[in-house]
Amino acid sequence: MNKNQNKLKIGLLGAGTVGSGVVKALQNNDFVEIKKIGVKDLNKKRDFFTNLNSNNPALTGNLSEIVSDPEIGIVVEVLGGLNPAKELVTLAIKNKKHIVTANKDLIATYGPELFDLAKENNVQIQFEASVCGGIPIINTLKQTLSANNFKKITGIFNGTTNYILTEMLNKNLSFEVCLKEAQELGYAEPDPANDISGRDSAYKIAILASIAFRERIKIDTVYTEGIQKITLEDILLAEELGYRLKLIGLAKKESDGKIDIRVHPAFIKKTNTLSSVFGANNGVLVEGDLVGELTLIGKGAGSMPTASSVAGDINLLVAQISSSQKPNPQFVCQHTDFAKIRPVSETTNCYFLRIRTEDKAGVVGQIGTMFGKHDVSINTLTQRGTNQDNTASITLLTHLVKEERLQRALAEIKNTNVVKQVENVIRVLD
């Protein structure tokens, strides 16, 4: 396709933070033209498309009009959430339109259904922007590293939680104070539940794992734990022990074919490249049999980083459409089997525990005995002084142990008179 040929027409669903960035990113694109933009409020002032290298697109409050327009070849969905995005994308596919989306919720929840529908209608769904904003992780897995058998993916997938944990570390502040600061600066939503609960990260690791391991992942099979219980004390103790506390998403395929996939806070070694991912940045560590370890770090959200990935997907589609090529198999969901997931109770980890006990002789011995009864081997155990309520704070690190054994030991320990509270349990990654 050259400049003199007709431009491919695009319909944009959503004109918020990401949508406005997409419009700006396409200002100098010689091959596409945004014909219509679907918005919720037609009266809202918008001046971001006044300098487009095309006629200004029409605004419409009727989103169905965009997915039904016969002149539109690509529908770009940046509404977010499941409704009305799922209904509109489904209708667009049935109308033979290619899809570009930044919607992780949609892909992680309804991806298999939508990919099957796209295959039936001979159209493609591109979703690079759904994971890690401006980091090109999806097409890296699908194309650049496609010759690899992937062993493991580990990442920091949520900028909000990473910003909060970074501020807690750097400023010695509590979780609550740093969350409020993140909201005031726009890094966290007024309702931050999706971020701090780990749900946002679960969507993203599910998408990446399904690509890397060529099996579909049901989002409700991803074990998910957030950062709500993390205290400044946990963060400082991690540093003292040679670790850094991060909210980690990981997926690895094990020798029996099951996939261990989960999201939770973790102590990671300071030598791990992800330990140096600070602020609102994201980072992904990929392990393949050919490439070895590869780390990608960058802005995981925001208007222009996400728009960069959306525009890149549009360009991929334009190149294929203009050359009359069949869809590149590397960009089409080929797998149909659902993965067998390793329950978190069957995973093996080291653990950090923070326990508050009675301050009297013999307590440490009792705790050690109970752990030993359940074959939980203690690496280090430290009593960290007496609290104002005459209790003692004990921290310990375990050797590798199956989670179900640790949980059985903790259930017994919690029921003893000498243990007042198991204040936190955090996994320690290699």
| Residues 34-67: tens digit of each pLDDT | 999 999 888 887 766 555 555 678 899 999 999 9
Same domain as 286, residue 142: yes
Give the model's pLDDT for residue 378.
97
Domain count, the chain: 3
Average pLDDT, the chain: 92
Question: What are the φ/ψ torsions at residue 102 (nearest 5 degrees)?
Answer: -110, 15
Give the model's pLDDT for residue 330.
47
Same domain as 313, residue 295: no
- Classify strands 391-398 and 348-358 as parallel, antiparallel or unpaired: antiparallel
- Residue pLDDT, tens place only, 313-359: 999 999 888 776 565 554 455 667 899 999 999 999 999 999 999 99
Confidence of residue 4 (pLDDT cuts 50, 70, 90): very low
- On the question of pLDDT at 2 being above 80, the answer is no
Same domain as 356, residue 218: no
- On the question of pLDDT at 1 being above 50, the answer is no
- Classify strands 281-288 and 150-156 as parallel, antiparallel or unpaired: antiparallel
Same domain as 179, residue 108: no
Give the model's pLDDT for residue 326.
60
Q: For the chain, give the longest Cα–Cα distance.
A: 86
pTM for the whole structure: 0.92
- Residue pLDDT, tens place only, 378-409: 999 998 888 888 899 999 999 999 999 999 99
Q: Is residue 338 part of a domain?
A: no
Same domain as 269, residue 183: yes
Same domain as 44, residue 108: yes
Confidence of residue 138 (pLDDT cuts 50, 70, 90): very high
- Residue pLDDT, tens place only, 75-116: 999 999 999 999 999 999 999 999 999 999 999 999 999 999
Cα–Cα distance for residue pair 204/191, rounded to 1 Å: 19
Range of the domain at 360: 346-428
Cα–Cα distance for residue pair 66/75, rounded to 1 Å: 8
CATH of the domain at 89: 3.40.50.720
Cα–Cα distance for residue pair 81/88, rounded to 1 Å: 12
The single-letter DSSP state of residue 185 is T
Q: Is residue 336 part of a domain?
A: no
CATH of the domain at 204: 3.30.360.10
C-alpha dist (Å) from residue 424 to 20, 52, 102, 166, 244: 42, 53, 35, 19, 16
Give the model's pLDDT for residue 246.
99
Beta strands in 39-188 (DSSP E): 58-60, 72-77, 98-101, 125-126, 150-156
Distance of CA 43 to the CA centre of its chain: 34
Q: Is residue 340 part of a domain?
A: no
Same domain as 195, residue 60: no
- On the question of pLDDT at 180 being above 80, the answer is yes
Active site residues: 204
Rounded mean pLDDT, 197-203 = 98
Same domain as 242, residue 228: yes
Give the model's pLDDT for residue 48.
64
Give the model's pLDDT for residue 384.
84
